[in-house]
Amino acid sequence: MYEVELKIRADHDAVRKRLADAGAERREAVVQRDTYYDAPHRDFAATDEALRIRRVERDGAEQARVTYKGPLVDDESKTREEYETGVGDGETLAAALAALGFEPAATVAKRRERFGLDGYAVTLDDVEGLGEYVEVEGEATEGDIEGVREGAAGVARSLGLDPERSIRTSYLELLLDGEP
């Protein structure tokens, strides 16, 4: 499975209004804390990969997930192969990774508000230290990446966002580079 994502810096109030006007379905609001890891056997920054434990606060409870993200596969979006699964205890997984030589690189904290629109997930992210962004995401198989990317661009345009201003850099990279 590939995650096709357009990420654009944007004012949430304006996008929220357009989402309401378009009849988008509000799905949830959560707080996420993503801890990214450096691998002992290769440089993820050089290979453009990521391994993270995501802790999600939802309705007063915390859940954890582990995600591997492969390198970007195109030049127009933030499309990459992704594997993700639930974890019963994020702290135990963190201890196991440490025992294997994986070290925490950085943590990204954000408040997310999620909507569904035209088969795409639209997420309003308020990222600590970076500000407000909107992500438009869809899932694709290898053969339909371009079509899903074009659909995501159409959704972005319908929300008053310019897909040409999409940022291919992750929040982690933006934070590490000191971007506002």
Phi, psi dihedral angles at 3 (to 5 degrees): -100, 120
Bigger pLDDT: 22 or 72? 22
DSSP calls for 33-86: EEEEEE-SSS-HHHHT-EEEEEEEEETTEEEEEEEEEEEE--SSS--EEEEEEE
pLDDT for residue 180: 63
3-state secondary structure of 168: coil
Give percent of the chain with pLDDT exceeding 70: 99
Contact 35, 123 (CB under 8 A): no
Give kind and range of the element (H or E) at residue 142. none
The answer, yes or no, to whether residue 179 has pLDDT greater than 80, is no
* CA dist., res. 37 & res. 179, Å (int): 20
Q: Which of 2, 36, 37, 133 is catalytic?
A: 36
The answer, yes or no, to whether residue 145 has pLDDT greater than 90, is yes
Fill in the amino acid letter for 22: A
pLDDT for residue 129: 95
For the chain, list the domains and their CATH numbers.
2-176 (2.40.320.10)
Q: How confident is the model at residue 111 (pLDDT cuts 50, 70, 90)?
A: very high
Active site residue 36: yes
Query: What is the tens place of the pLDDT at every residue in 43-100?
Result: 999 999 999 999 999 888 999 999 999 998 888 888 899 999 999 999 999 999 999 9
